A and B are shown apart, each in its own frame.
Chain A
Amino acid sequence: MALLLSCVAGDLILSVLAVILSGWRYATPIVYGGTLVISAILSGIALFAVAQSPMSITLPLGLPWLGAHFRLDALAAAFLLIVNFGGAGVSLYALGYGRHEPEPGRVLPFYPVFLAAMNLVVIAADAYSFLLAWELMSLASWALVIARHRTNGNLRAGYIYLLMASAGTFALLFCFGLLAGAQGNYAFAAIRAHHLAPSLTGLALALALIGAGSKAGLVPFHVWLPLAHPAAPSHVSALMSGVMTKVAIYAFIRIVFDLMGPPQWWWSVAPLLLGGATAALGVLYALMETDIKRILAYSTIENVGIIFIAIGLALAFKASGLAGAAALALTAALFHVLNHMLFKSVLFFGAGTLIVSTGTRDIEKLGGLINRLPYSSAAVLAASIAISALPPFNGFASEWLVFQSILVSPQLPQMGLKLIVPGVGVLLALAAALAAACFVRAFGITYLGRPRTPAAAAAREVDRWSLAAMLGLAALCLFVGLFPGLAIDWLQPVASAMVSGRMPPQSSIAWLSIVPVSASRSSYNGLLLFGFMVAAATIAAAMVHRFASRAVRIAPFWDCGYPNLGPQVQYSATSLSQPIRRVFGSVTFGAHETVDMPAPEDPRPAKLVRTIRDPVWDFLYAPIAVFIDRAAGLLNHIQFLTIRVYLAMVFVALVALLTVLALWG
């Protein structure tokens, strides 16, 4: 515990060091190297702390009568690993990527603070320290989002991020206030002992959903995410997407499973419905985008939706006393958290290499990069397969577990959940399918085909640090996908602490299969499948070469009879997603296309105009903005009243309150 806290302090010292050293050319390697070492140590601690009994420490910091409580239990340790393993990967990547930073002084001081704050959120054991660390995390990431403030739109992204982050923190503040009750002891141990009145649990749950959901990117609180992720430098985007949203999920699990007491079945309805909507909408948004980092940001939203579905299921099972099923669902959620951290980091690293080597984020301007960036494209391909939930990579294993937990949902006694869960399952299946389409599109348009612009044709592979980070994490994606039993068993202490149940141990099962419920229902063996796929692919390739193309011939490619047209005739990202846009987009996003055809003899080119509207902005945030604007306009008159009217207002308010008291009492 002391080592843990001194590591966090080391991060903070590094940030001070970064301020002092800023401008010196070795500042970048020192800071990222330092965070790499610290995060690696912390990951090691976390790896072993899960199975240990909880450790806690109270520091005489913070509020005088409260102190700062820190506690490392199984749940905190699991997320400590997510934070620090992600942090280590990102630091390794940034050792190379950070060199391309135009103004390192704007990034370096905040990066270690961001890491330290996320660590503190995870191990905080009283509401005060938690919120302080949470706000520090928000502010540090906000500073990183606006690091490139001269780029168009980044300041607006930062502004919206700050607004959403503050609103979320306020919601969490009120949530903890409700949970602590009138006694107002904010230590988690006291909150755990205090049982909330049943009428208030709904409110506390809603506040937790808003507070954690706004940071995690739950629809409809996701609006900051697709703006902030592209604005931040790529390694920071990876950290925000792969790690920070997970810290928010940690907050939700901590509040709902640990602090709010025994759950009711209806608590699961909101996470399930919002999770389903988030998963489906997130991937649809991603399909409409052509900016690679926005695609990844929306895909993060989708994955957060999947995780929330699993959390909702775990709540429902726990409320109904189905401990084994609850452990399955919670393990699925945590496993997906881990996996998403792994593959989303690789994908954002890949986006970073694209930006470094071509200078653009628009996938319509890329193409053919698989020849120019062979290693990074291999890593991105692996991560794309993983995020599309295709075996044998890790994404499949965790989404399969989510589906398994949906399949045991008929055991639930409540009629409402029996109706909702299959519907959410359909949304999840839709999201999974569309995610595959999304990443086929993103990878295919970016890395396959012919270069669409000279910049894409001139791209060069990036430095070794970045490649090491990408390939290393991609290899881990494969490893975890092949041996999911290891991860599942590692997560069992968390499940038994949160839902007091556990899945059957997986590592003792023969042939490294995983059997989440019982062998008669389902089992999955990643290694066997991988072996089969490798064998089938090798045999197929050998057959093709043996019987069909004995000799390789170089010939002009088939061009539909139009020779030598430019690379623009290739299938583009927009055209690839057009069918999906027509089917889903017209209803969900009000998408429509108009052809702007000039009259004959008019020399201006014809244009196809696409318009897409975001319903969340239109129906939720725009009315709020209008309301606030009107209210502010009305209240503005109060600025210009006379002194006597001010006094009269105080007087009338006082008398009115006294009258209410007189009538009531």
Chain B
Amino acid sequence: MTQAFAFDVAHMFAGLLVLVSFMMLYQDRLLPLIDALTLHSLLLAFSVAWQAYVQDKPDLYVTAFIALAFKAIIIPMAFRRMVVRMNLHREIETAVGTGITMLIGIGLVALSMDLMLRVTAGANALVREDVALALAVVLLGLLMMVTRRNAISQVIGFMSLENGLILAGTGARGMPLVVEISVAFSVLIAFIVIGIFLFRIRERFDTVDLQALDNIREARR
């Protein structure tokens, strides 16, 4: 197997992650959004596994497994149950127009490419584009958090952002497994806390629209 082929596959997975990030930006219903997150995490797991194979680092397989188990199976399933129980699966959110969001997203990808390819000029060729694409995924996740009103979709944006971080970490041939495990568990715990909060918010305000929280604060001002 040639070096070029390994690069191409790694870049393909990273590129697919960016593509799925765009799909997430585009979804305005919750259930397809969760599906997109599943796909996103699945791609991440493949990408990390491929990195483990290419770099010959078996501990990255553990990372891939964690990504697969938590992010592609457990968390999306929990989300799905939550959305169904809260009866949110029919809701459509309209915070910022999809078209504008997509345009901003394209700009962000261009920015991260332009920046990272220049900054990492001296680095390993495998790392360079991976890091650039990972930054794009991070920025798109952040963009998603900014443009959504629903708490669940914000959490999903946060999860995709975290996927981007892991992509960067595994591509850069450095992130130790311990760090990875702790990040994974912290995300899991964050997820549990957020889940509890979502239910509490919902119990109190009959909605998970964050606008309601802001309204309360407006009233107290």
Contact = CB atoms under 8 A, between A and B. Distances in A.
Nearest to A649: B146
Contact of A647 (B114, B115, B145): B145
A658 B111 contact: yes
A665 B118 contact: yes
Of the listed residues A640, A643, A648, A665, the one surrounded by the most CB atoms of chain B closer than 10 A to its CB is A643
A659 B111 contact: yes
Closest 4 CB pairs of A and B: A642-B214, A662-B115, A648-B146, A651-B146
A661 interface: yes
B39 to A, nearest CB: 24
A658 B95 CA distance: 25
Contacts of B211: 642
Contacts of B155: none
A653 B188 CA distance: 28
Contacts of B16: none
Nearest to B119: A665
Nearest to B118: A665
A654 interface: yes
B149 interface: yes
Given A651-B146, A654-B142, A658-B112, 18 more contacts: A640-B221, A642-B214, A643-B214, A644-B95, A644-B149, A647-B145, A648-B146, A650-B142, A651-B142, A651-B143, A651-B145, A654-B139, A655-B108, A655-B111, A661-B115, A662-B114, A665-B115, A665-B119
Nearest to B138: A654
Contacts of B213: 643
Given A642-B214, A651-B143, A654-B142, A662 B111 contact: yes
A643 B143 CA distance: 14
Nearest to A662: B115
B118 to A, nearest CB: 5
B85 interface: no
Does more than half of chain B's interface fall in helix, strand or loop, or is it mixed? Answer: helix
Interface in B162-221: 210-211, 213-214, 217-218, 221
B149 A655 contact: no
Nearest to B135: A658
B210 A658 contact: no
A640 B221 CA distance: 8
A654 B138 CA distance: 11
Contacts of B114: 662
* Best-buried of A640, A644, A661 by chain B (most CB within 10 Å): A644
Interface string B109-148: 0011011001100000000000000000001001101100
Contacts, number: 41
B218 A640 contact: yes
B87 to A, nearest CB: 23
A647 B108 CA distance: 16
B118 A662 contact: yes
Interface residues of B, number: 22
6 contacts: A644-B210, A658-B112, A659-B111, A661-B115, A661-B119, A665-B118
Contacts of B112: 658
Interface string B93-114: 0010000000000001001101
B115 A640 contact: no
A662 B115 CA distance: 5
A650 B145 CA distance: 11
A647 B147 CA distance: 9
Contacts of A661: 115, 119
A665 B119 CA distance: 7
Nearest to B217: A640
Nearest to A640: B221
Interface in A604-654: 640, 642-644, 647-648, 650-651, 654
Contact of B146 (A640, A644, A665): A644
Interface in A224-282: none
Contacts of A651: 142-143, 145-146
Nearest to B157: A647
Contacts of B218: 640
Contacts of A650: 142
Interface in A448-466: none
A67 B131 CA distance: 41
Contacts of A662: 111, 114-115, 118
Contacts of A665: 115, 118-119
Contacts of A655: 108, 111, 139
A265 B54 CA distance: 63
A658 B112 CA distance: 8
Contacts of B210: 642-644
A654 B111 CA distance: 12
A658 B146 contact: no
A642 B216 CA distance: 11
A630 to B, nearest CB: 20
A647 B112 CA distance: 19
Contacts of B111: 655, 658-659, 662
Contacts of A648: 146
Nearest to B104: A655
A653 to B, nearest CB: 11
Contacts of A642: 210-211, 214
B2 to A, nearest CB: 32
Contacts of A640: 217-218, 221
Nearest to B107: A655
A534 to B, nearest CB: 79
A662 B108 CA distance: 12
A644 B149 CA distance: 7
A648 B139 CA distance: 12
